[in-house]
Amino acid sequence: MRRAARRLVGSVVGALTCASAVAVLAGEGAPGFGVTDIMDAMVVPPSDALFGVGRAEPDSEQAWISLRHQAVILGEAGRALTAPGRSRGADWDAWSVAMSDAAESAARAIDARDVDAVLFAGGDIIESCTGCHRVYLPLDG
Ligand code: HEC
């Protein structure tokens, strides 16, 4: 009796696990945090920090190191956007990859302590933001 009950519970859990796996594969219900949270926590602050080089250059070794950390966060945010359940299609993935690539260019420029190259990478970063928003941002005023 008890064993049968355990088997029943086991198969219900198994069915639920399967159902959620199918939902993720079908792109229903993003895993973890949503896109707005990722924008606000992982995309906007690091990109602002990188654009900020145009207003004030990093003035210490620690400032360069902190700036590099921002490039890392932005690069990995791009990858987080392509996760199953978050990705909204091929264009979405392309703009996310473009953002990651531009963040990696920024990191290389930071390693070279080359402000102009950081700003150049910043141009590519902005292009990835506007490129994706043009297609996917809901325009409701
Ligand atoms: C791959 C697509 C994509 C990329 C790349 C992208 N965004 Fe977004 N962003 C979105 C979507 C979609 C939303 C709206 C949220 C939603 O529909 O779930 C959004 C929303 C936002 C918001 C509004 C957040 C809020 O609290 O309402 C800001 C600000 C933002 N993005 C800034 C940026 C910046 C800056 C970049 C580039 C550094 C960027 N985004 C790159 C897709 C993208």
Q: Which of 133, 135, 136, 140 to mutate to test the pocket of ligand 1 (most atoms within 8 A of CB)?
A: 133
CA distance readout (Å), 129 to 12, 34, 87, 95, 139 = 43, 17, 15, 8, 15
pLDDT above 90: percentage of residues in the chain? 73
Among the listed ranges 25-34, 72-81, 103-112, which one has the minimum average pLDDT value? 25-34
How many structural domains are present in the chain? 2
Q: Which residue has the higher pLDDT, 141 or 90?
A: 90
Give the predicted TM-score (pTM) of the model.
0.83
Residues in contact with ligand 1 (CB, 6 Å cut-off): 34-36, 39-40, 43-44, 47, 81, 92, 95-96, 99, 125, 128-129, 132-133, 136-138
CA distance readout (Å), 83 to 6, 11, 40, 129 = 35, 28, 18, 18
- Residue 31 confidence (pLDDT): 74
Q: Do 59 and 128 fall into the same domain? A: yes
pLDDT tens for 23-70 read 444 445 557 899 999 999 999 999 999 999 999 999 999 999 999 999
Q: Identify the CATH number of the domain in which residue 41 sits.
A: 1.20.120
Domain for residue 141, yes or no?
no
Q: Do 106 and 119 fall into the same domain? A: yes
Residue 73: CB atoms within 10 Å:
17
Residue nearest to atom 37 of ligand 1 (CA): 129
pLDDT range class, residue 2, cuts 50, 70, 90 = low
Domain that holds residue 58: 33-136
Q: Which of 39, 76, 97 to mutate to test the pocket of ligand 1 (most atoms within 8 A of CB)?
A: 39
